[in-house]
Each structure stands twice: as C-alpha cells, then as structure tokens.
Amino acid sequence: MNVEQLFSQLWHDYTEITPQAEQIKQLFAATDGIVINDHVAFRTFADTPLQLDNLEPLLLTLGYERQDGYQFEAKKLRAYSFIHPDSNIPKIFCSELLTDQLSRKSQEIIARYTQQIKPQELDLSVFWSARHWDMPSWDDYQSLMMETEYGAWLLAIGIRVNHFTVSVNHLSSTDSLGEVLQRVKSANFNINSVGGEIKGSPESLLEQGSTMADRLALAFADGDVHEIPTCFYEFALRHEDIGNELYQGFVAANADKIFESTSAA
C-alpha cells in the first residue's frame, strides 16, 4: 500500500462515521476546487500492542520521519508528529493515553478491554481497524468520561483517524481562518470554541480551528443505545518562519484545545 492508497482508505473510513466532513469538503470544493489535507491524527493506548512506539514503524516504511514529540500533562498524553519528505503528502499526528497515570479505577476499566488485544504483526490496516476489544458498557464509558474523555472516546471508537484538516493556505477563496470558520458556521456546523474558535496566532506560526465532532448512536455492551461523539474536521493556517518558509510543525497549546472537539459536553 502506498501513501495515496492509505489516505484514500482513511478518508473512506472517516466519512463513514463523520458525514459532516464530506459536506464541509464539498462546501469549499465548490469555490476552491481541490481541497488539500494538511494532516490527520490518531489516538491509541500506551502499554498495549497498539502503543505509539509500535505504530511508528508502519509510518516510517512509507517514508515518514518523526518530526517532534509532545507531552500533555493534564490530559495524560504523549504524542509524536510525523512529516514526509514530499511536502504534498499530509503530516500525521499520533497520540497515546498514558494509562499508568490514571486512577486505579480507570486503569482497571481500560485493562479489562485492552487485555483482549491479540498480539499480531501490525500493518497499515491497523489505522482503520477500530476496536480490538468488546464494546464497553455504558457504565464503563461514563466512568472513564469523568476522568479522561480521550480514554472513553478511544474505548468506544477504537483505532481510526479522528480528523482530517483543511489546509487554509491552499484555498484560493480566502487566506483567513476566521472567514473559513464563519463559512462553516453559516452552513450550520458547530465550531469548537474552547480557548476561542481560533487556537494559536500568527506569532506562534500556526492557527487552527475545528468543528465539534459528529455524533452517532451506538449500542453499548449492556444493550443501551446512546449517541456519542465520533470525529471532527479541522482547519489549519500556517505562517512563514524566519526563513520565509511555512511552519510545518504543531503547537502543543493548540492541540490541547483541539482534543476538546470530541467532548461529549
């Protein structure tokens, strides 16, 4: 599988549970033609066969290089960003939940499910493989939600891309993230306002905004059906650094607020 095939499969899986993404993409395609993807992101559990260090080699085989590492102490996460030598290929952001930093109760809940993960030789299909464990009970989901929204989301949704990102730099109709978000709001999609609708600034070299995640009714293990957040769509505007090149990294303070796009609140 090459990079193009990977992103095609990811988009197919993503839009299956995120219908807003295709609608928003077409909103901009109508005025801008091709909509360029800046990056995608994944979530996983640390200390499991699906931990970040086991996913990284799969990306390296595609020519990606690890770009940087990030720590999110309050959310108990760590992350790597990956960049490809071909600037036309989207960047990738992978994070993992540091389960050993959670309360004993949350650790026990997560362990009941992650111990079901079968040791296996991983290939690129893992990035759209969803749950490797039984659907959690509604009680377990709610219990986790009290401490780690990230963990509850991951337990219910599994390993799959949680967002694609419109590159505002490649839009011909506007170079303003604010205008992009206004168009999305005018089309009746909700915007993540945690920390402001626009996260970051020209000074930080990266401005980001996102929708709030779509919602999907799922049947939990105890038979209860509840509507929960799935995935969202992001928008990124990159600024030139001191070398007059577009900044290609990520800003941890921005990412911390973008994680809130899957909040169930």
Taking the chain, what is the end-to-end CA distance rounded to the nearest angstrom? 38
- How many domains would you assign to the chain? 1
**What is the rounded CA–CA span in Å between residue 107 and residue 116?**
14
Closest CA to 73 of 53, 95, 47: 95
According to the model, what pLDDT value does residue 244 have?
Answer: 86
- The string of pLDDT tens digits covering residues 36-55 is 999 999 999 999 999 999 99
- The string of pLDDT tens digits covering residues 195-225 is 999 999 999 999 999 999 999 999 999 888 9
In the numeric block, the tokens 């990159």 are attached to 238
CATH of the domain at 140: 3.10.180.50
Segments of the chain assigned E as strands: 39-45, 65-72, 77-83, 91-97, 163-167, 199-201, 206-210, 215-219, 225-229, 232-238
According to the model, what pLDDT value does residue 242 have?
Answer: 85
Q: Give the number of other Cβ atoms within 10 Å of residue 172's Cβ.
A: 10
According to the model, what pLDDT value does residue 265 have?
Answer: 65
According to the model, what pLDDT value does residue 231 have?
Answer: 97
Residues in the chain, pLDDT under 50: none
Closest CA to 212 of 183, 190, 238, 240: 190
Domain that holds residue 120: 3-262
According to the model, what pLDDT value does residue 120 have?
Answer: 86
